[in-house]
Chains A and B, each alone.
Chain A
Amino acid sequence: MSGDHHTDATIARRVRRLETLLEEKGLITGERLDEAIDAFLAESSPANGARVVARAWTDDAYRARLLADGTAAVQELGYMDGSYQRLRVVENTESVHNVIVCTLCSCYPLRLLGPSPSWYKSEAYRSRVVREPREVLREFGLSLPASVDITVWDSSAETRYMVLPRRPDGTEALDEEGLAGLVTRNALIGTAAV
């Protein structure tokens, strides 16, 4: 997908130019910028989303709160503090599978999932998953029976989405930490099951 590389390169050039300008005008130093980015990324990891999922799997009252008001529920666990964005958590069941995309750009719940994978930003994923999600998920190695309804959530405004995957069978003996270890980034996007 050369088109994507081209877009990435263009954006990277713009970002570099903007950084240079900010430094030249004395508005920010390179070190301060690096510190800010490091601090932001240190708090952003799919381990956060995994911990939220593990809590929801082990605590029904928490799960209900998470599905009713995702932002407030993840803030209970110390995530998304002070964020202006709204989080909506969508639950996979026996009959419904959810998958997340941003067809217009690459909106993504970064604080809970860490930096997004490059395929999430690719034109191929963004244009195809809204049109033929069953086929796209199959290419990710996730074959869903025809009886499962797929809902694709296109993050076109201020709400960010995260998938609550189904808890796998045979995990009754695992504690919250053990369960969190099973949850992958792709499961939180909906391109994998746990």
Chain B
Amino acid sequence: MTDAATDRFPPGTRVRTYRHDPPHHTRLPRYARGKRGVVVEPEGPGELADVSARGRGDAPVEQIYAVRFEARDLWGEGDHHVVLDLWESYLEEDSDDER
């Protein structure tokens, strides 16, 4: 679907979502901010909704990733999983040193 060589986060990469609370539209739900997850697969490129939703024509196109979270990492409890589709700039690699 996409050129794997250009994807910053290959499947299996441990990532963390950003923490900040932007004053504008975003597609990173509040419950998944500052959380650790694992990349399932790239979903294909898409215009960054945070910019395009404000009626701007200059939204950057970024890779979108399906990211899988464990319920206990999101809610502190639960045994299920949640998968979210997240734009690349919502994510950073989760290095072991930060744990």
Instruction: Tell me whether A104 and B29 are in contact (CB under 8 A).
Output: yes
The residue in chain B whose Cβ has the minimal distance to the Cβ of A161 is B83
Instruction: Tell me whether B81 and A156 are in contact (CB under 8 A).
Output: no
Instruction: Tell me whether B81 and A152 are in contact (CB under 8 A).
Output: yes
Q: Knowing A104-B27, A131-B78, A156-B29, say if A151 contacts B44 (CB, 8 Å).
A: no
Instruction: Tell me whether A131 and B75 are in contact (CB under 8 A).
Output: yes
Bound: A155/B49 CA distance, A: 13
Q: How far is the CB of B44 from chain A (nearest CB, A)?
A: 6
Beta-carbon contacts under 8 Å, B51-99 to A: 64, 66, 68, 71, 74-75, 78-87
Q: What's the count of A-B pairs with C-beta under 8 Å?
A: 69
Asked if B43 lies at the interface with its beta carbon under 8 angstroms from chain A, I say yes
Bound: A131/B30 CA distance, A: 13
Instruction: Tell me whether B31 and A157 are in contact (CB under 8 A).
Output: no
Picked from A88, A134, A159, the residue with its CB within 8 Å of the CB of B80 is A134
User: Which residues of B are found within 8 Å of A151, using beta-carbon distances?
Assistant: 68, 80-83
Instruction: Tell me whether B86 and A157 are in contact (CB under 8 A).
Output: yes
The residue in chain B whose Cβ has the minimal distance to the Cβ of A86 is B44
Instruction: Tell me whether B85 and A158 are in contact (CB under 8 A).
Output: yes
User: Which residues of B are found within 8 Å of A103, using beta-carbon distances?
Assistant: 29, 31
The residue in chain A whose Cβ has the minimal distance to the Cβ of B87 is A157
Instruction: Tell me whether B80 and A156 are in contact (CB under 8 A).
Output: no
Bound: A153/B64 CA distance, A: 15
User: Which residues of A are found within 8 Å of B79, using beta-carbon distances?
Assistant: 134, 146, 149-150
Q: How many residues of B contact A (CB 8 A)?
A: 25
Instruction: Tell me whether A150 and B81 are in contact (CB under 8 A).
Output: yes
The residue in chain A whose Cβ has the minimal distance to the Cβ of B29 is A103
Flag A147-186 by CB within 8 Å of B: 1 or 0 each. Answer: 0011111111111000000000000000000000000000
User: Which residues of B are found within 8 Å of A159, using beta-carbon distances?
Assistant: 43-44, 64, 66, 85
Q: How far is the CB of B29 from chain A (nearest CB, A)?
A: 5
Instruction: Tell me whether A157 and B43 are in contact (CB under 8 A).
Output: yes
Flag A81-98 by CB within 8 Å of B: 1 or 0 each. Answer: 000001010000000000
Bound: A44/B85 CA distance, A: 24
Instruction: Tell me whether A152 and B82 are in contact (CB under 8 A).
Output: yes
Q: Knowing A134-B80, A151-B81, say if A156 contacts B27 (CB, 8 Å).
A: yes
Q: Knowing A156-B29, A157-B43, say if A149 contacts B83 (CB, 8 Å).
A: no
Residues of chain B touching chain A, judged by Cβ–Cβ distance below 8 Å, are: 1, 27-29, 31, 43-44, 46, 49, 64, 66, 68, 71, 74-75, 78-87
Across the A-B interface, give the 7 residue pairs with the lowest CB-CB distance, nearest first: A157-B85, A150-B80, A151-B81, A152-B82, A156-B27, A158-B46, A157-B64
